[in-house]
Homo-oligomer: A and B are copies of this chain.
Amino acid sequence: MLEKFDLSKTITDAEYKKSEKKLKARLGELQRKAWDLKIPVILVFEGWHISGMAEDINRFILSLDPRGYSFHAMMTRPCYEELLKPFIVRFWSRIPVRGKIAIFDRSWYSRAVIECLEKESLESHEEEMGKRLEEINCFERQLGDDGYLIMKFFLHISEKKHKERFDNFKKDNIPLIFDDYEKESGKDLDFILNYKDYLPFVEKLLEKTDMPYAPWTIVEANDRNFATLKIMMAVIHAIETSIENTTRTPAEQTLKYLNMEALGVPQLNNSTLENVDLSKKMNANEYKESKKLYQQKLSALQYELFKKKRPLVIVFEGWDAAGKGGGIYRLVENLNPRLYRVVPVSSPNDIEKAHHYLWRFCEAIPKAGHITIFDRSWYGRVLVERVEGLCSEEEWKRAYREINEFEEFLTQAGVIILKFWLQIDKDTQLNRFNSRLFDPEKKWKITAEDWRNRSRWEDYKIAVEEMLQKTSTTNARWIVVESNDKRYSRIKVLKTTTEVIENRLKK
């Protein structure tokens, strides 16, 4: 969930000051309304250690009426009495009274992580951690069902920033959350500071606890101003929505997105796709050699998969004319047709429409030892179906989690999943459309639908970004393939595929 966030954007101090003033006024107003309506609010702050959380929280709470919130600092070790109580009961007793806001600076999440890790090694505690998270999900669901508004923020910074800040912390001798724990247990918890080691652990935790009743908001926190504004806006939007849900019938509700223009604050849309380097190229010679090399490797690997009974799913998504077909062609060029199958996915037929949207893909999920390549896939739910209004907003919003769960169960059953997003820019698409149009052999490839989709490029872009962010999971990451250059694109697909298979077969 973390890797597809762009951490590069910044907000100047002048911009920040201007926006902050407006947002503070709005927040104060909403706080009073929530109080009148007796809506209890729980705000959880978690993030990388040294992500600058304290500062952000402080800037945030300054905008609130202190009579209306309680602040819970959970960074320190629980006291002796607390440790004698069952885990979740310690937090139950801290929930806010209806109408008030409870702010948790670190929470049950940090406590669960540290208490699990304190005892044993990271790996051996997967099961205990699983139980804790189940407990936490249950706790949050019960509160959600009872009308509590729960928002969870994860303050995300880059590895570079992490190192920088940590060096500063050490210099200034500022205590860290787990210093306390280390002293007690004598156990070294430094790996929490090891960004690369800790990342998959954090991602799994976020994936397993991102629930409709208590969603995570990932906050790009390299830049303080950006982070604080994002938090304020998210809280404003959530309380506004909650007030709407409380005071209006479903039919009367109109609020969908926070109107940032009306608030006069800057857009906070970061973009991974904009940072993709589409100038990447490969010359014909290197292409020829690499193609030969990786196709041979892949040909050998398909039999390895068969022998080890591991099924492989490869998903191709991307802009029209991004080169999905060509990429798939090079992928299967040297494979044994008895072991692979390419499944082109277009709009569902009547029978397919009369089932759950995942149903039609189940037949094509490969048997043990086999390969299925999907040319477009179940991601249509959050792309074309979302953009064209073919399903309701509720349905596509729910689909991120449904798809993650679906892929997780496949992974648990031994399926290796690869997902490619083929990225091109708008000009490249136009050139390819035109060349298709004037090439009698390719003319069939281009239809009115392609032009219509192209006209909605910006809407699709939003949908693609959100898809990449929300469905790039630890077991099934999205691989963005720079595809302006077809040779580069095809080799990246081939190379990545062989590497991932080799990697997974080792485990």
Q: A: which residues have CB within 8 A of B?
A: 38, 81, 84-89, 92-93, 95, 97-99, 127, 131, 135, 138, 142-143, 145-146, 148, 309, 311, 351, 354-359, 362-363, 365, 367-369, 398, 402, 405-406, 409-410, 412-415
Contacts and interface: CB of A to CB of B under 8 A. Distances in A.
B356 A86 contact: no
Given A84-B367, A138-B409, A359 B93 contact: yes
B138 A405 contact: yes
Contacts of A356: 92, 95, 142-143, 146, 148
Contacts of A363: 93
Nearest to A99: B354
A324 to B, nearest CB: 24
Contacts of A86: 311, 365, 409-410, 413-415
13 contacts: A84-B309, A85-B368, A86-B365, A86-B414, A87-B413, A92-B356, A93-B363, A95-B356, A97-B351, A97-B354, A142-B402, A142-B405, A146-B356
A453 B148 CA distance: 32
B362 A92 contact: yes
Nearest to A131: B412
B89 A365 contact: yes
A87 to B, nearest CB: 6
A97 to B, nearest CB: 5
Contacts of A398: 145
A97 B413 contact: no
Given A362-B93, A398-B145, A412-B131, A98 B138 contact: no
Contacts of A142: 356, 358, 402, 405-406
Contacts of A148: 356
A415 B92 CA distance: 16
- List the 9 closest A-B pairs by CB distance, nearest first: A86-B413, A84-B367, A92-B362, A84-B368, A98-B354, A97-B354, A93-B362, A146-B356, A89-B365
Nearest to A367: B84
A311 B89 CA distance: 13
A85 B365 contact: yes
Contacts of A95: 355-356, 359
A406 B84 CA distance: 17
A14 to B, nearest CB: 43
Nearest to A398: B145
Nearest to A130: B130
A426 B369 CA distance: 68
A367 B89 CA distance: 10
Nearest to A88: B409
B354 A38 contact: yes
A367 B368 CA distance: 50
B409 A135 contact: yes
A412 B134 CA distance: 12
Contacts of A359: 92-93, 95
Contacts of A414: 86
Contacts of A127: 127
B89 A362 contact: yes
Contacts of A362: 89, 92-93
A152 B115 CA distance: 39
